[in-house]
């Protein structure tokens, strides 16, 4: 009997965390109502679904997520498993993901406040477990991809500012949690022609898979 090699397809479950004031609805090219972050997110969703991956979108602004840790929230952070129910819901959704994609603009060389609060509250102290000396909160095989829309030219951001966002996320957050499959891509949309921006959107798959 002849056996043929059959390639097994692996379909991922992907969580997308979007932080932009205009929300996912701003993906269309409408002046003063458009967001390249949202355009990236929509193209990421379409690319993933075309390959039969499942997608869960967390749109922080649309959810009206409160990023502020209050006095009560800090007490919960120190003494309980989670800060609040919404943050806990987000974490449970992230735990199901094979890959997590963060999409947001870079303001003053770092992330917006809402996403910073998301990280502070969702990755709560009470959820972090220490296994074999390694702090863990997600499956260690979880892929982390960051798509950041930035105004500062890449070379200046990396050489002059020393890539603060990349260092913070790679080493200070996900590195501490043992998540090593990390990639960050910066998109200088403001400095590109419309043709170049559209071409980048069509090729977004190479930055996430």
Domain-embedded: residue 26: yes
Q: Which residues of 47-79 are buried (b: 16+ CB within 10 A; e: fewer)?
A: bbeeeebebebbbbbeeebebebeeebeebbee
Domain-embedded: residue 185: yes
pLDDT tens track for 29-41: 888 889 999 999 9
Lowest mean pLDDT among 60-64, 117-121, 129-133, 177-181: 129-133
pLDDT band, residue 1 (cuts 50/70/90): very low
Domain-embedded: residue 4: no
Domain-embedded: residue 7: no
CATH number at residue 81: 3.40.50.360
Domain-embedded: residue 58: yes
Residue 58 is predicted with a pLDDT of 98
pLDDT tens track for 65-86: 999 999 999 999 999 999 999 9
Predicted TM-score (pTM) of the model is 0.93
Q: Average of pLDDT values for 44-69? A: 98
Residue 3 has pLDDT above 80, yes or no: no
Residue 18 has pLDDT above 80, yes or no: yes
Domain-embedded: residue 1: no
pLDDT tens track for 182-208: 999 999 988 888 899 899 999 999 999
pLDDT tens track for 128-144: 998 888 999 999 999 99
Q: Give the count of domains, the chain.
A: 1
Structural domain containing residue 146: 13-208
Give percent above pLDDT 90 in the chain: 85
Chain-wide mean pLDDT for the chain?
93
Domain-embedded: residue 69: yes
Domain-embedded: residue 119: yes
């Amino acid at each position: 009997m002849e056996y043929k090699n059959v390639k097994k397809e692996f379909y991922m479950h992907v969580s997308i965390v979007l932080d932009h004031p205009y929300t996912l609805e701003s993906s269309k090219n409408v002046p003063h109502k458009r967001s390249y972050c949202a355009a990236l997110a929509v193209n990421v969703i379409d690319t993933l679904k075309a390959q039969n991956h499942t997608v869960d979108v967390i749109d922080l602004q649309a959810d009206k997520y409160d990023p502020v840790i209050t006095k009560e929230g800090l007490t919960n952070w120190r003494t309980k498993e989670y800060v609040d129910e919404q943050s806990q819901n987000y974490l449970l959704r992230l735990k199901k993901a094979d890959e997590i994609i963060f999409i947001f603009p870079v303001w003053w060389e770092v992330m917006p406040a809402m996403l910073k609060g998301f990280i502070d509250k969702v990755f709560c102290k009470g959820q972090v477990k220490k296994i074999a000396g390694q702090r863990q909160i997600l499956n260690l095989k979880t892929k982390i991809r960051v798509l950041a829309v930035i105004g500062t030219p890449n070379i200046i951001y990396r050489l002059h500012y020393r890539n603060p966002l990349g260092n913070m996320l790679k080493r200070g957050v996900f590195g501490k949690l043992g998540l090593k499959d990390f990639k960050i891509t910066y998109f200088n949309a403001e400095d590109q022609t419309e043709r170049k921006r559209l071409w980048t959107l069509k090729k977004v798959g190479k930055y996430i898979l």
